[in-house]
Chain A
Amino acid sequence: MEQFPRQEIEDFLYREARLLDERNFDKWLEMFTDDAEYIVVSTKFQDTVSSEGVATHGKREIIIFDDTKASLTLRVQRLKTKYAWAEDPPSNTVRVVSNVLVEPVSNVALVFSDVVIYKAREEADIDVIIATRKDEIVRKKEELKIRRREARLIPPVLNIRNISVFI
């Protein structure tokens, strides 16, 4: 069974946050496996009734990002054009990553973490994006890689005009 010391996983997530804050997107992409999935959802409350007429109060996910490594790469390429207005000039960001929990499942580390992203631009108010994440992290040739990320945004109605940063 593969070992995933928490210190190593935490360092990995901090390094990821730093790469994004420094806008080193190419290096960031390398942190994902080639078959990676990258999903961002928001959560709604919903009442449902089963066919037996039993009411349940549940949650429902609304998918906002449903990316592969190829589409993430395309997003990064777009940011490098001269016409990515949502990031022109580039936002200043700080990602605060916390509450890291690691659960090894055979050769995968299931990693839970929370992230608060502060995004500052020109004269606009600072956007705060809060998400809780569940990553599947694997080891490929000694190096850690994200095989799947699922980030859940906290607000059911996003009070921000766009999500122009990676979560």
Chain B
Amino acid sequence: MDLDSLVIVDEGLISREIFTNEDIYRLEQEKIFGKCWLYLAHESQLKNPGDYVTTYMGEDPVLVIRGEDGKIGAFLNLCRHRGTKLCVRDEGNSFFFTCPYHGWTYNSEGRLTGVPLEKIAYPNLDKSEWGLIQVPRLVNYKGTIWGNWDPEAPSFEEYLGDMKPYFDMFLDRYDGNMKIYGGVHRWIIPVNWKIPSENFMGDSYHALFTHKSAVEVRLRNPYSPNDFEISTKNGHGFGAQVGGTGRGVEASEEYKKILWESIDKIADKMGDFVRDIMPLGHLHIFPNFSVLDLWPYTFLRVWNPKGPEKTEVRSWLVVDGRVSEEENRKIAKKFELEFGPGGVFEQDDAEVWFRISETLRGPMGRKVKLNYQGGLGMEKEASSVLGPNARGILGAPFGETNQRMFYKRWLELLKG
């Protein structure tokens, strides 16, 4: 397959084939989800020994658990005997996992500890060789847990590259008090995983129209033309309205105070531009992890591929532990009104994405090259505009530089 003819980044042309082709999908599983750092969990979900969450790395189910030894580990969530899925709960606490098929039991460090009738049925079994398959690389980056299947992969910090100072701004703001609030929302959208990913990476443009109803009912101020998009060369990116999306919406004094204090602290270190770009708005770390960081609330996302035209959304509201429970409940209420399967923003996103899949059936429709030319050639070094500590490339307002850089990285990895 001539991938170069499908993704022509310099001209801003992308073939629709990449959103539906089975071979490309399989290649992605191996070359992207098998090689990139993938978001697994937040530390606040794994406070005590035995605390676990289950998730996916690409199409592979994984179990992330704090072992009895206090260390966090991640394992392929399947039994070594016949491959039965071992843990079918989203989260919980347990020191052992027993397979429902023949009863093999594994402990919280992934070791095989129990085999029924072992002496009779498996007299020569070396149990130490049949523990759960461990994700070889795992990092706890300021409370966010990431895994990588590739033993040769660069460190997570290297992987972040120019995104690091921005991701740090986001995480440092919480000063270690970030926590997941209210569990995980999970639902299925019939669309390729790259469509929501590129949307969260750089698509301020769609807000003007897809989410126009939110302005009409005064959930948002009219979108200002004062938009910025920052892309890093390795496929990550973020962007927002200058001053933070949703600034001016109601928030309690208590919440605003904590927010401003932390922003000021970071601005003192990094420069004044920080006050204009925080909260960071839509942010994406290649390949499938997103954040939406707004004035009223912040959430994390993973877009799990489930086939060329199917994505499982996982969404977690994060709150600041220094904010009172009462205020966090209000923040959660607002989040649920706007995002999640019933959110008035997200309902419409899912609808337009679904309509993209609807037109991929025919041989003509899937061949069409799409226009990714927004702001093409208008990029500047971010430091030349925002100050010496800014990294990455600044795209034109409402431009598509971030998306182009996402597909550039995607192409490099697929060909690699």
Contacts and interface: CB of A to CB of B under 8 A. Distances in A.
Q: Do A and B come together as binding partners?
A: yes
B248 interface: no
Contacts of A60: 183
Interface stretch (A77-85, A111-119, A130-138): A77-85
A144 B205 CA distance: 46
Interface string B197-215: 0000000000001111110
A74 interface: yes
B332 A66 contact: yes
B318 to A, nearest CB: 15
Given A45-B89, A78-B216, A86-B350, A63 B187 contact: no
Contacts of B210: 83, 85
A64 B89 contact: no
A50 to B, nearest CB: 9
A157 B332 contact: no
A162 to B, nearest CB: 4
A90 B272 CA distance: 47
Contacts of B350: 86, 161-162
Interface string B44-65: 0000001000000000000000
Contacts of B92: 46-48
B351 A162 contact: yes
B212 A44 contact: no
Contact of A163 (B212, B332, B347): B347
Interface in B158-202: 182-190
Interface in B345-377: 346-348, 350-354, 358
Contact of B346 (A71, A124, A157, A162): A162
Contact of B217 (A66, A67, A78, A158): A78
A123 interface: yes
Interface centre among B88, B186, B209 (most CB of A within 10 A): B186
B90 A46 contact: yes
B49 to A, nearest CB: 10
B333 interface: yes
A81 B342 contact: no
B341 A162 contact: yes
B344 A64 contact: no
A64 B351 contact: no
29 contacts: A44-B91, A45-B88, A45-B89, A45-B90, A46-B90, A46-B91, A46-B92, A48-B93, A49-B50, A62-B182, A63-B182, A66-B333, A75-B337, A83-B210, A84-B213, A84-B348, A85-B348, A123-B358, A124-B354, A124-B358, A156-B90, A157-B312, A158-B187, A158-B188, A159-B187, A159-B188, A161-B351, A161-B354, A163-B342
A17 B302 CA distance: 35
Contacts of A64: 185, 336, 340-342
B94 interface: yes
A3 interface: no
Interface residues of A, number: 37
Given A48-B93, A55-B94, A83-B209, 16 more contacts: A45-B88, A47-B93, A49-B50, A49-B94, A62-B182, A63-B336, A64-B185, A64-B341, A67-B333, A67-B337, A71-B333, A83-B213, A86-B351, A156-B186, A161-B187, A164-B351
A151 B50 CA distance: 32
A109 interface: no
Nearest to B341: A163
Contacts of B211: 83
B106 to A, nearest CB: 14
| Smallest CB-CB A-B distances: 8 pairs | A47-B92, A86-B347, A158-B187, A161-B350, A83-B213, A83-B212, A162-B347, A163-B342
Contact of B89 (A46, A55, A85, A123): A46
B330 to A, nearest CB: 10
Interface string A50-94: 000001000011111111000100110110010111100000000
A20 interface: no
B219 interface: yes
A78 B214 contact: yes
A46 B87 CA distance: 10
A72 B214 CA distance: 14
B336 A78 contact: no
Nearest to B335: A66
A38 to B, nearest CB: 11
Contacts of A47: 89, 92-94
Given A81-B216, A83-B213, A161-B188, A40 B342 contact: yes
